[in-house]
Amino acid sequence: MNPLLSSWEAPFELPPFDTIEDADFEPAFDTAMDAASARISEIADNPEPPTFENTIDALELADDDLGKVLSAFYTLASTDANDTREELMRKFSPRLAAYSSEITMNMALFQRIETLWQNRDTLDLSDEQNRVLMLTRRGFVRSGALLEDADRARFRQVTERLAVLGTEFSQNLLADERSWFMELADEDLAGLPDFLISAARAAGEEKGADAPVITLSRSLIVPFLQFSSRRALREAAWNAWSRRGANGGKTDNRKNAAEILSLRSERAKLLDYDSFADFKLETEMAKTPEAVRGLLMEVWKPARAAALKDADILTEMLAEDGVEGPLEPWDWRYYSEKRRAAEHDLNEAELKPYLQLDRMIEAAFACAGRLFGVEAAPLDVKLHHPDARAWEITRNGEHIAVFIGDYFARGSKRSGAWCTTLRNQRKLGGDVRPVVINVCNFAKPPKGTPALLSYDDARTLFHEFGHALHQMLSDVTYERVSGTSVARDFVELPSQLYEHWLEVPEVLSEFATHAETGEAMPEDLLARMLAATTYDMGFQTVEYVASALVDLEFHLGDPPADPIQRQAEVLDDLGMPRAIAMRHATPHFAHVFSGDGYSSGYYSYMWSEVMDADAFEAFMEAGDPFDPETSRKLEQHILSVGGSVDPAELYLAFRGRMPGPDALLKGRGLAA
């Protein structure tokens, strides 16, 4: 039998990755898709009057088998891609879009939902059921359920084409990232610390090269730009990194981006919205483009001023090195690292031995234990890749979740870091506990040596584990509102909030231990590191806010015929410092163009940061970063309830008020 369609007998019903073959996916997909479609038809054609149970509950459970197949497939496709899996992604994406349209444009099904909605006051529903009903109806309407005839047909075409384009965008980006690397001769190692040389040698082995190499993995290229004294090599590396998706040929994403923006605008207008941004933001906390722009500009002004002051200092350092001409993007990190070493007596090479991956994982678990009483125990199970590892998460001896960490970069893994699930928490149809995966792209060390992280890497680890806690501590009935199924500008609150515990001195004192000596980080180094946490924040904030504003402007008004030109116009209007680039330029802006998730929504990280800065302040006001009562309220009002309540209500229940941007500016060192 196809292992994807049989009962999964592995511990915790994990997918049987050791027996799944790529040839199993398409027939399993076909079978599960047909079964799901048949169940949808049964619900829509049910001769009995609609009830919550025979309509909404039935819809929630209709595609369980399809979800199992897809969770296993996309885990492999995103973390260990190959030609077969990429071809399957191209096949599956339009079919899944068509399946979604088949559901949301089924008028008999929508009429059952509409009947329930119109009579909701007579149904004796729980608060969560009312929320699920509202979200279900809203999802149908926003997916074209009320459209007729030609508009309905065109909406389906647009949706399916967008699915194809998003998949192509991701695969083009991965192809560019996978194909480029730069071999380093002995003389090219000048200025590079041992940890980077070691990681470059490991990358060279993976690429089959006889020399250390720099790839386009962030964990390699960023430290190379920080430390390499060879300016020409920094420029070559920077150009390759910044031109991902814009190298011409079949992997060029510029036409894809233009078509995606055009189709999104058309889709919004079919639904009678002024712009795609208006459509997208309607369901978020921000609600309107004006609210988003207002927050971003409030942060942009002090951030730009700080960055320009820093640029003047770095330009002087460049001139002192005898370099003529202006400061360039491939210079910033190099001279900023030298300045940090001088002003804070601190450099990345000194810190890294104290930030071991295994110890930072322990720290993330330990903080969760103190805050929420959970414990983690290693599991010996077959996973999707040999580098991945798993833990059982329990509380008071009771199983809570399975947590999987896949931390190392490889050519077959898409870039970035993310949290996903093989299974979401729910109670409908049985008490289903989640299986959660954190995926990162840290540099893999040579065999037998510990993996060392930058401080930014360690923050990423804590960030993604914050998302994982949101999934693992979920306690709702319906999967539709489980875990991270919340407004996009609320979903980053738990993840960004969890980053704060990495900065708690007692956490670092215990877990930041030297890879060779085992000694704790010296108090003076710890103090210097924490004092430098807002160092170069002008640069970091400018590169982020510029990306968020470009994303917003792309989706307002008429779609640009040439997104690259529009990007340049937006940056020019902002007065973008010439030596700072957008964190994600259009051709590799996967957040925005690989799917709709963060389209018009890249601002979400900053919107959530306003709340996370204020939320951690609640612990500080209590006098203890692990205050039990504040932890209890955080779990009760934020982490356990998912999207079962409006996010503004959740935050008000936790904090008693909505925050302003003051705590954010203070936390970033940008307050006046």
Positions marked catalytic: 464
DSSP code for 442: E
**Phi, psi dihedral angles at 346 (to 5 degrees):** -150, 135
Question: From the CB of residue 18, how many other CB atoms can be counted at a distance below 10 Å?
Answer: 11
Secondary structure class of 421 (helix, strand, coil): strand
Side chain identity at residue 411, one-letter code: G
The CA-based angle 428-434-435, given to 5 degrees, is 145
How far apart (Å, rounded) are the C-alpha atoms in residues 610 and 612?
A: 6
The H-or-E segment that residue 137 falls in is helix 127-142
Task: Report the residue count for the chain.
Answer: 672
Please say whether the beta carbons of 642 and 481 come within 8 A.
Answer: yes
Residue in 126, 70, 37, 115 with CA at minimum distance from that of residue 427: 126
506 contacts 493 by C-beta, under 8 angstroms? no
Helix (H) or strand (E) holding 336: helix 329-344
Question: What single DSSP character describes residue 292?
Answer: H
Distance CA 594, CA 143 (A): 19
Q: Which two tokens stand for residue 95?
A: 């079919």
Residue type, 647: P
Token pair 């990345």: residue: 348
Long-range contacts made by residues 111-119, C-beta under 8 angstroms, separation at least 24?
A: 112/43, 112/44, 112/46, 112/50, 112/55, 113/50, 113/55, 113/56, 113/137, 113/140, 115/49, 115/50, 116/50, 116/51, 116/52, 116/55, 116/56
Question: Which are the contacts of 617, defined by CB distance < 8 A and separation ≥ 6?
Answer: 663
DSSP letters, 518-570, are -PBPPHHHHHHHHHTTTTTHHHHHHHHHHHHHHHHHHTSSSPPS-HHHHHHHH
β-pairing verdict for 398-408 and 435-442: parallel
